[in-house]
Amino acid sequence: MTEQFSNMGRRRFLQGAAVVAIGGGLLAACGDDETKDDGTGGTTPAVTSGLIGLTLNGLNDYTKGVATGVYKALEGTEYKLEVVQVNYDAAQELAAAEAFLAKGVVGLIIQPNTVESAGAAAEKAVAKGVPAGNCIWPGASESDKFFVGVAELDSVQGGRLIGEYLIANATPGKVCVVQGVVGQGFSERIDEGLDEVLKDSGFEVVVREQGFFDRTKAVGVVEQAFTAHPDLGIIVAYSASMSNGISQWLKDQGKDTVIHISSDADEEMIGWMKTPYQSATRYYSSAQTGLIAANAVLASLRGETPEFRTVVEQVIATSETIDAIVEANPYMFMDYKDKVQNI
């Protein structure tokens, strides 16, 4: 199954990159007189250059991976990219989008902090005729009409995958869940799938708290969980950025029998997966989410109507399978790693 996923993922991922390369070539080749339908029967010039803004919900290796996907999409074009991160703050997310629009960006790409703030930012973009793409779409909402395309990640299914792994590999017992940011629509949907599978299974979620994608805050949640439940045997965290801190804490405490599962991946986490302190992850590529959202914006600027939803692939990865899975769908385009280090 893993080999099938890896082969399928590699084909789709490389096909996506090929579309970017072809699209980029077309964009670079077309001149200022290139036109697109303006929706009224007339035509307006296609936008072939200019500034594109990217807002990241925070700053960690995951969001840097998202940014490399956007850089990959813009490869070979005449667009410039500016990136800001908003410290997991909804008001900052909207303010950053407004600042980009005031600068005259021709496209806006959003890695949402919350559904509401990302939607409000996209609505502002639409009002100025600027296409907006969404790097991680949790599901249908009133904001959908403001985005030209989204990277669709089925987090309910992601939660199911985590739950199924636990049932197959762990002894039923107490579970601590470390969420990301409640309000994104991301953590809540993983919760939904996880709870669905674990219902009546003997596994009991005794702690469920936000870690805000921060390793220190995530460790705080875990410490408090063990204080309240010394017999806790399972930790599920919803990001590599949090799991890295948790793995280090488990090692420092000598807790090498705890089942610890994460979501997504980065370089540090892959190292922890080769130790007793992390068992598995629900893997998907953050770079792919940026690539998808940016592709949608570029297609709109060319005058095309992009697919609204493009699925982000996901699978449970273990120490035995993680290397092959990451090779097929890298979490970061390493050619752009240096460009995203100082966002």
Give the residue among 323, 341, 328 at the shortest CA–CA distance from 5.
328
The answer to whether 210 and 187 have CB atoms below 8 angstroms apart is: yes
**Backbone φ and ψ of 107, nearest 5°:** -150, 150
| pLDDT per residue of the chain (343 residues) written in tens, 0 to 9 | 444 444 434 444 433 443 333 233 222 223 333 544 444 333 356 898 999 999 999 999 999 999 999 999 999 999 999 999 999 999 999 999 999 999 999 999 999 999 999 999 999 999 999 999 999 998 888 999 999 999 999 999 999 999 999 999 999 999 999 999 998 889 999 999 999 999 999 999 999 999 999 999 999 999 999 999 999 999 999 999 999 999 999 999 999 999 999 999 999 999 999 999 999 999 999 999 999 999 999 999 999 999 999 999 999 999 999 999 999 999 999 999 999 998 8
Per-residue pLDDT at 184? 82
CA distance linking residue 109 with residue 297, whole number of Å: 8
**Strand-pair category, 43-45 with 35-37:** antiparallel
The domain made up of 2-153+285-340 has a fold known as Rossmann fold (3.40.50)
The secondary structure of residue 87, as a DSSP letter, is T
Locate CATH 3.40.50.2300 in the chain.
2-153+285-340, 155-283
Q: Residues, the chain, total?
A: 343
Beta bridge partners of 107: 52
Edge to edge, what strands does the sheet with 78-85 contain? 78-85, 49-56, 107-110, 132-137, 149-152, 309-311
- φ, ψ for residue 79 (rounded to 5)? -85, 150
CA distance 193 to 175: 15
Question: By the 8 A CB rule, do 247 and 272 touch?
Answer: yes
Which token pair is 88?
């997991």
Largest CA-CA distance found in the chain, in angstroms, rounded: 69
pLDDT value, residue 46:
87
Q: Does domain 155-283 have CATH number 3.30.420.60?
A: no
Q: What is the pLDDT of residue 110?
A: 98
**pTM for the model:** 0.84
pLDDT score, position 331: 96
User: 101, 71, 11, 126: which is closest to 294 by C-alpha?
Assistant: 71
Residue 209's DSSP bridge partners are 178
Return d(Cα 292, Cα 162) in angstroms, integer. Answer: 25
Whole-angstrom distance, CA of residue 100 vs CA of residue 56: 13
Q: Measure the CA–CA gap between 284 and 331, rounded to whole angstroms.
A: 7
Compute, in degrees rounded to 10, the torsion defined by CA atoms 270, 275, 277, 282. Answer: 40
Place of tokens 């005449």: 78
Choose among 79, 143, 72: nearest CA to 110: 143
Nearest residue to 146 via CA among 163, 133, 162: 133
Q: Taking each helix axis from N to C terminus, what angle separates 61-74 and 2-29, rounded to the nearest 10 degrees?
A: 50
